[in-house]
Amino acid sequence: MTTSETARPATLDAASLRELVDSGRAPRLLDVRTPAEFETSHIPGSYNVPLDLLKEHREELRNHLDEDVVLICRSGARATQAEQTLAGVGLPNLKVLNGGIMAWQAANAPIKQGAPRWDLERQVRLVAGSIVLASVVGSVFVPQLKWVAGFIGAGLTFAAVTNTCAMGMMLGKLPYNRGASCDLDTIVGQLRESGGGRA
């Protein structure tokens, strides 16, 4: 795989995916958001494989993914990382849902709703904004605190340039975001079943 292919994964738009699902030819749908985000809303028939778990156990998961796979997240960034991870272990036929779950919802496609929770990107904005605000206000009394705000700004810039987010990955590990049990054995068991394990 060339570098340009790694940077630009194959994508599938919401309308095309819906057509495949409606025709009974749905690919394997892997939602790489946190369990809490998945519980809030997801595409019926999708499997929750959080990005951190997918990265850690890519070899084991690769053995259970031999058909077409569409990767889903909120907007496409985490799904792109998942695509690069799985492509790195030789998994073919990977696509990213262009625009993620947001595009799916905007297309008025079927969605399974659960208890509402804040998505990970919103949590990152809250935490980063709160740290910057507290640092700026605190710098009136302790001038060195301005560097904390600068560090957060640099981190957000790096996150945008690399399309990764260390703060998001850390927040994803909090109990609030873990939701129901989502471990490798459960996921592999669902993937082994022929449709019976889908949510």
Beta strands in 32-139 (DSSP E): 41-42, 47-48, 69-72, 94-97, 112-113
Residues 6+ apart with CB under 8 A from 120: 33, 34, 37, 74, 168, 171, 172, 177
pLDDT of amino acid 7: 54
Q: Which residue from 135, 139, 160, 138 is spatially nearest to 149, judged by alpha carbons?
A: 135
pLDDT of amino acid 6: 46
CA–CA gap between residue 69 and residue 91 (Å, rounded): 9
pLDDT of amino acid 198: 39
pLDDT of amino acid 101: 95
Give the mean model confidence (pLDDT) for residues 4-8.
51
What's the Cα-to-Cα distance from 133 to each of 4, 86, 160, rounded to whole Å?
A: 39, 38, 20
pLDDT of amino acid 106: 94
Give the mean model confidence (pLDDT) for residues 181-197.
65
Catalytic residue among 21, 72, 73, 103: 73
Residue 73 annotated among the catalytic residues of the structure: yes
Q: Which residue from 94, 65, 59 is spatially nearest to 80, judged by alpha carbons?
A: 94
pLDDT of amino acid 180: 59
Task: Report which residue type is found at 108.
Answer: N
Task: Report which residue type is found at 183.
Answer: D
Each domain of the chain, given as residue ranges in start order, spans 11-116, 120-173
Contact 103, 16 (CB under 8 A): no
Class in CATH terms, 11-116: alpha beta
Q: What is the pLDDT of residues 101-114, one digit of tens each?
A: 999 999 999 999 98
pLDDT of amino acid 161: 85
Contact 170, 87 (CB under 8 A): no
Q: Coil, strand, or helix at residue 113? A: strand
| Paired sense of beta strands 41-42 and 112-113, if any | antiparallel
Q: What is the pLDDT of residues 135-176, one digit of tens each?
A: 999 999 999 998 999 999 898 898 888 877 888 878 877 777
Length in residues, the chain: 199
